[in-house]
Amino acid sequence: MSDFTGIFRLALQALIRNKVRSMLTMLGIVIGVAAVIVTVAIGSGARVSVQQSINSLGSNLIVVQPGSVTSTGARGGFGTASTLTPADGMAIAQLPGVSAVSPAVTIRTQIVAGDNNWQTTVTGVAPTYSFIRSWPMASGSFFTQNDVNDAAKVAVLGQTDVSELFPNGQNPVGQTILIKGVPFTVVGTLTALGQSSLGTDQDDTVLIPYTSAMQRITGQTTVSQLMVSATTGDEIAPVQTEVTTLLEQRHAIAAGRPDDFQVRNLQSIAAAASSTGAVMEFLLAGVAAVSLIVGGIGIMNIMMVSVTERTREIGLRMSVGARSATILRQFLTEATVLAACGGVIGVIAGFIGTFIVAALAKWPTQIPIAWVLFSIAFSALVGIFFGYYPAKKAAGLNPIEALRFE
């Protein structure tokens, strides 16, 4: 232990004697580690943000959309067919493993409140929508099943619509808004959710009973989609299969024929987004890690210069009894200390850089502790790897020739 302490002290003394050179040598490692920390923080933060945004769309959510229609050879894509009805939703609600179902009828239109107006998305839903979306109320209450049965003219506002239609802080509950000329009474407001992962404003919405949307506004008998909530995450896949089978029976789709609907769950979307984010995270970290290799080459170069400059010192130490293994450990320790110190400084710089990026660019960031530890350990390994050859060269010097070196 005392032998290691002496070698470590000699290594520090050698590095301190050449402060400027030691700092410049560490610079490559500092930049490399800081780049790894910042890029991983951005990639990890983006991945977590996408995951949270997808999770916020619903509780164990399964979405059923209409299929596509083909007109004069042109395929319209999913959602262009009018195939889903509220009755389909009621049938799905009876399936085992289903906790809630809500039809959704979406309309993009202008709404008016007094002297203010605003273009927004009006969505007709069932009272179960707030449970499926895990979206609590800010004030008032959500409409009830009786309101759906009566196609009542009641509405619930998102916070963006509250601020645009009632800019003076007026309580919107109890006020009247016009949706395509039809008066609706505001019965509640939703808490703010903010932007989705796609950048859309989730609070820019008005919710009304789906029967009101169909009978009083659109005149349609079909819905835009069915939102299904499974009882648990483990039930999502079985429920998805059961929903597909049920709708094929209800829509009389023959075997081998394409379905006139699409059933999707957000877990697969979240998994794909998470997988893509992880790949990008490792790719960015790999690119940044190249700086560590460059820093390691710089350490090897400086250590080679140091061996040349201290040849007489090495010869003198070996002539008074220092073993080759001791010389090897000293120079290897110097290289490792250089790289490890550079790694620690790089981590600090990475934390500062991450904070600056998050503050200026408004990007979500998250620094995984595992990557911090990995960066420090990897920088130390770089020092050992690139410092070994100069240390081996120093340990292999002939003491007599070293003493003669000018």
Number of C-beta neighbours around residue 145 at 10 A: 11
- For residue 42, the surrounding DSSP H or E stretch is helix 19-55
From the list 213, 211, 212, 192, the residue with the least C-alpha distance to 202 is 192
Q: Is the pLDDT of residue 8 over 60?
A: yes
In which band, very low, low, confident or very high, does the pLDDT at 276 lie, cut at 50, 70 and 90?
A: low
- Annotated domain spans of the chain: 2-53+272-404, 84-259
Q: Is the pLDDT of residue 87 over 60?
A: yes
Round the average pLDDT of the chain to a whole number and report it: 83
Number of C-beta neighbours around residue 398 at 10 A: 11
Burial class (CB in 10 A: 0-12, 13-18, 19+), 79: middle
Number of C-beta neighbours around residue 199 at 10 A: 6
Bridge partners (DSSP) listed for residue 207? 123, 156
What is the spatial distance between Cα 95 and Cα 233, in angstroms, rounded to a whole number? 16
What is the spatial distance between Cα 167 and Cα 157, in angstroms, rounded to a whole number? 14
- Read off the pTM: 0.58
Which residues fall within 8 angstroms of residue 325, CB to CB, at 6 or more apart?
A: 395
What is the spatial distance between Cα 159 and Cα 289, in angstroms, rounded to a whole number? 44
Which residues fall within 8 angstroms of residue 191, CB to CB, at 6 or more apart?
A: 135, 136, 137, 138, 159
Number of C-beta neighbours around residue 404 at 10 A: 11
- In angstroms, how far is CA 311 from the centroid of its own chain? 53
Which residues fall within 8 angstroms of residue 60, CB to CB, at 6 or more apart?
A: 99, 229, 230, 231, 232, 233, 235, 236
**Segment 23-74, tens digit of pLDDT:** 888 888 888 888 888 888 887 777 666 666 655 555 588 899 887 654 444 4
Vertex 19: Cα angle to 17 and 23 (nearest 5): 145
210 phi-psi bin (left φ>0, alpha ψ -120 to 50, beta other): alpha
**Cβ atoms of residues 242 and 91 within 8 Å:** no
**Cβ atoms of residues 308 and 387 within 8 Å:** no
Mean pLDDT along residues 269-298: 70
Tell me what pLDDT residue 59 has: 52
**Cβ atoms of residues 272 and 124 within 8 Å:** no
Any idea what DSSP says for residue 203? Answer: T
**Segment 202-257, tens digit of pLDDT:** 899 999 999 999 999 999 999 999 999 998 878 888 999 999 999 999 988 888 88
**Segment 122-179, tens digit of pLDDT:** 999 999 999 988 899 999 999 999 999 999 999 999 999 999 999 888 899 999 999 9
**Segment 26-39, tens digit of pLDDT:** 888 888 888 888 88
From the list 296, 89, 104, 281, the residue with the least C-alpha distance to 205 is 104
